[in-house]
Structure 1
C-alpha cells in the first residue's frame, strides 16, 4: 500500500488523505464508494485487478478520502445544505489534492477520474465540471441525480450545480460546445443484484447516458448482465476490462 498523505481542507481544521499506487503512467484520481476512505481501492482488490498496468508504469492511482459523511450521507441535513458542503469538498480537490498530484507527476497532466457507486457520481461530476484537468471519467454502478438521495427541503443553486442530471440538461451554447470537444464519459453498470434495488444504479445510469446523448457529449454506456452485481468483485472485472485502452 502507498503512503497516506494528509492534506488540509481550506477554511477548516480538517484534513483528508490521498494515497498513491504506482510510480509512472496516466494519473487516475480515484473516489471511494459512499463514505469511504483512500485505503478502500487497494483493500478491495482494485489495484491488484490491474497490477500489470501498475507494474508496467502505465498508470498511477491517486486515491482520495470521501467527505460523504458530512455531505451526501448526512440525511439530517437538507439537500441544499449537503450540496453546499459538497462544494467545500470540491474546493479541497482543487486547492490541495490536484496540486499535490501535479507535484508528484511533474506538472499538470490530464487526469482520468474513476469511482464506483457514489464514487462514480464524484468521478463523473468532477470531469464534467473540470474537463480542462480531468477530460475522461469512468463511473461504475453510479447514480447521477442527487435529488433522489433521500434528501429534503427546497433545492437551490448549490444543488443544481452539484447535480449532473440538472446542470447537463441546462447546458447550451459555447460551454456545451467546449464540453463536447473536451470531455468523455464511460458509464458501466450491471443488471444484477443491487444494481436496481436499493441503489437505482441501473436506471440512473441509463437515464444519464440518454441525457448525454441528447446533449451530444461523448460517452459510452456498457451494461453488463444479470450476474453482474453492485459489488467489488464485479468492479474489479470491469476495471480490468476497460482501463488498459486508456493508459
Structure 2
C-alpha cells in the first residue's frame, strides 16, 4: 500500500498535526482515530490492511489524521462548553488545512467521506452534519454522539450544543433540513458485545438512528451480534464489509 506522511501546521492550535495518505486514486475518505488517537492508529490496528485491496485497486484514498481530543473532549479538567470551544480549534485545522490539502492531492475539489471508530465516529458524524457541503457521507462505527455523556460537567452553552448531534439534529427544520435530506448519508454501525454498552455506544447509536429517522435524514443502522465487542477486530471486519459499497 502506498503511503505519504505530511505535517500540516495549524494557527488555531499552534502546532502541526499529521496526515497520512494511503493510496493513489479513488474515493477520498477522511478517517478520524479513536479517542486521543494518532494518524498512525488505523495502520497499527490493521484497518489499512483490512481494506488494502480497495487501496491497491485505486478505489480508495484514505486520509488518516491526528486527534485533538486530549485538549478538548477528553480533558475532564475543563467544563463541557470549554471542551467544545477547544474542539473548534481542531475543526479549524480540519477545514482550513486538511481539506484543502486533500483537494490539492486529488487535483481539485472532491467530495470527501468521513470515517471513524468510537470517538472518531462522533467526529465523522459531527463534521458531516455540520458541513455536508464538504462531507456528504459519514461512516460511523461504535460511536457515542452526546459529548456531555463523556464525564461532562458545567453549563452547556451554544458551543456544546452545536457539537452535540443528539442535540442539534433534533431541532433541524425548514430549508436547511431539506438540504441535508438531499445531501447527506450516515452509516451507523455498532456491535452488541463487550464495552458497547459501558461506553454508551450501543444506546447512543440506536437513539441517533431514531433521531435521524424522525427527521427523514438518510441513514443506515447496522447492529452486529452480542459477540461483537467495542474493539479494533470488530471495526476491521465492519469496515471491510461496508466500505466496498462506497468506493
Q: Shorter-chain TM-score: what band?
A: over 0.9
CA distance in 2 between partners of 1:220 and 1:209 (Å) = 8
CA distance in 1 between partners of 2:112 and 2:98 (Å) = 12
Which position in structure 1 is the counterpart of 2:231? Answer: 231
| Cα displacement (A) at 1:143 | 0.2
| Cα displacement (A) at 1:128 | 0.5
| Cα displacement (A) at 1:136 | 0.3
| Cα displacement (A) at 1:3 | 3.1
| Cα displacement (A) at 1:228 | 0.6
5+ residue gaps, structure 2, are none
Give the 4+ runs in structure 1 shifted more than 6 A. none
Secondary structure in structure 2 of the residue aligned to 1:61: strand
1:172-219 deviation per Cα after TM superposition (whole angstroms, max 9, x unaligned): 10000000000000000000011001x110000000000000011000
Secondary structure in structure 1 of the residue aligned to 2:76: coil
Which position in structure 1 is the counterpart of 2:120? Answer: 119
CA contact (8 A) 1:144 1:205 kept: yes
Which position in structure 1 is the counterpart of 2:102? Answer: 101
| Cα displacement (A) at 1:15 | 1.3
CA distance in 1 between partners of 2:151 and 2:226 (Å) = 26
Provide the aligned C-alpha RMSD in A: 0.9
CA contact (8 A) 1:30 1:63 kept: yes
CA contact (8 A) 2:36 2:69 kept: yes
CA distance in 1 between partners of 2:170 and 2:186 (Å) = 16
Q: How does 1:84-163 map to 2 (within 5 A)?
A: 84-163=85-164
CA distance in 2 between partners of 1:177 and 1:11 (Å) = 32
CA contact (8 A) 1:87 1:162 kept: no
Secondary structure in structure 1 of the residue aligned to 2:3: coil
TM-score normalized by the length of structure 2:
0.98
CA distance in 2 between partners of 1:67 and 1:25 (Å) = 27
| Cα displacement (A) at 1:8 | 1.2
1:121-141 deviation per Cα after TM superposition (whole angstroms, max 9, x unaligned): 000111011111110000000
Q: How does 1:43-122 map to 2 (within 5 A)?
A: 43-122=44-123
CA distance in 2 between partners of 1:175 and 1:88 (Å) = 25
CA distance in 2 between partners of 1:37 and 1:189 (Å) = 22
Which position in structure 2 is the counterpart of 1:205? Answer: 205
CA contact (8 A) 2:12 2:90 kept: no
Count of residue correspondences: 246
